[in-house]
Structure formats: structure tokens, C-alpha cells
Chains A and B, each alone.
Chain A
Amino acid sequence: EADIYQTPRYLVIGTGKKITLECSQTMGHDKMYWYQQDPGMELHLIHYSYGVNSTEKGDLSSESTVSRIRTEHFPLTLESARPSHTSQYLCASSGQVSNSPLHFGNGTRLTVT
């Protein structure tokens, strides 16, 4: 059973606010990922990390930023939220074995008003 946690589960926030979505995993996984998914739509990779101090942009351009200071923690930050950022954000991690599958957290559903 994968242990990956995201907080908050739901967030409603006004335009222009700075927000940080938290993601933590307790499995010691080196690789972590952020996906964005609108309702009924595809998953899009927005950020990923191979390990501490490693961050890469994904396939979908995003105004968010990430950091990886600790192995277990991979927060995503939006400096100034806009209604176009309304979406579900899914964090995932995978283990050291090169072909390990991804395990997902429960997601954060963000609404920007």
C-alpha cells in the first residue's frame, strides 16, 4: 500500500492569493511527480523530480513551481492564483527500481474564485 499524502484535500481561494499544495510520502521514493487533471479530462504532467534538489518541468506548461529539499516532501506553489488554475492536482511517487509504477495521493481539488 502506497503512503503518499496530499493536503489540503479541497481548497477554495480568491484570485491573486499565493498557495502551496503539500505532498509527502513515507516510502523513501526518489522520484515524485505532479499531475494536473480537469474533470473528465486527461492527466497532464506538470512537474517531476528525480531526487533531492532535482526539479524538472513536465509536458504541460504550468505557472506553478516546485521544490525538493527533502526526499519525502514535494510541495507545489502558485504565487498568484487565477481562475484558470482551477483543477485537480495529483501528486505521485515511484521507487528506486527503474520500472516502478507510480502511486498517487488522494489529490487536491483547487477552486480559484
Chain B
Amino acid sequence: QKEVEQNSGPLSVPEGAIASLNCTYSDRVSQSFFWYRQYSGKSPELIMSIYSNGDKEDGRFTAQLNKASQYVSLLIRDSQPSDSATYLCAVLDPNDYKLSFGAGTTVTVRA
């Protein structure tokens, strides 16, 4: 089974700060990476997709991918209390289209 490891939480940041989330994966053939946000009791919601090395920015979110290091990260700038959730890193297996999820990192933004 493909492994996806996320930095252990919970992560507590003050409002307005940057939250930094990290993820490593074991399967070198993976080419597609996703970050999902999951509020307590809700289903995962896609917030970022990244397929190429480098940075991808979308609003206050920036995803970073380094395939050589098998590492993908998510930065949340100007963190808001509404960003308090569990963030799931997901890696797509191109051979069988199965998405493997990390255990998630719970972020709490302190007002």
C-alpha cells in the first residue's frame, strides 16, 4: 500500500500567521497531488491540486511540490479562524487511479 505521511498535529497558529503543512509520499511514480480540507463531521473538500514541481498559489493557499524529494507542502497565509480544520494530503496512483490519503493535520487558528 502506498504511504502518505503528514506532519503530526495538532498545529495551533495565531490569526494572521502562516500555517505550514508537510507531506511525504513513498511512490515515485505518483504525479498528481491534492490537498483537501475537512471540517469536523463533514466530507473532504478539494482546495488545491498540484502536478508540477514548484509552487502553485490560489488565494491564501500555496502548494509546493518537490518530486525528487517526494515532498509536497501547503502554506496558509493570513490564517483565519475559518481555516480551523483537518487538512488531508492525497496522492494519486497513476496505475489504478486510487487516491491514498495521509492521516491529516488538524489546524487550529487562535483568534
- Are A48 and B98 in contact, CB atoms less than 8 angstroms apart? yes
Tally A residues with Cβ within 8 Å of B: 23
- Max chain A CB contacts within 10 Å: which of B32, B88, B102? B32
Query: How many residues on B have C-beta within 8 angstroms of the other chain's C-beta atoms?
Result: 24
Asked if A94 contacts B44 (CB within 8 A), the reply is: no
Residues from chain A with a CB closer than 8 A to the CB of B46 are: 101-103
Give A67 Cβ to nearest chain B Cβ, in Å.
19
Q: For B1, list chain A residues within 8 Å (CB).
A: 59
Please tell me if A90 contacts chain B, counting CB pairs below 8 Å: yes
Measured CB to CB, the closest approach of chain B to A102, in angstroms, equals 5
- Closest B residue by C-beta to A48: B98
Instruction: Indicate if B69 sits at the interface (CB-CB under 8 A).
Output: no
Cβ of B94 and Cβ of A98 under 8 Å apart? yes
Residues in B77-104 with C-beta less than 8 Å from chain A: 88, 90, 92, 94, 96-104
Q: By the criterion CB–CB under 8 Å, are B44 and A99 in contact?
A: no
Q: A42, B43: Cβ atoms under 8 Å?
A: no
Q: Are B44 and A104 in contact (CB under 8 A)?
A: yes
Query: Are A99 and B92 in contact (CB-based, < 8 A)?
Result: yes
What are 25 A-B contacts with C-beta separation under 8 Å? A31-B97, A33-B98, A42-B102, A42-B104, A43-B44, A43-B101, A48-B97, A48-B98, A58-B98, A59-B1, A90-B43, A94-B97, A98-B94, A99-B31, A99-B32, A99-B51, A99-B92, A101-B32, A101-B90, A101-B92, A101-B99, A102-B34, A102-B46, A102-B99, A104-B43
B interface, CB within 8 angstroms of A:
1, 31-32, 34, 42-46, 49, 51, 88, 90, 92, 94, 96-104
Residues of A at under 8 Å CB distance from B? Answer: 31, 33, 41-43, 45, 48, 50, 56, 58-59, 90, 92, 94, 98-99, 101-107
CB-CB nearest 3 A-B residue pairs: A99-B32, A104-B43, A43-B101
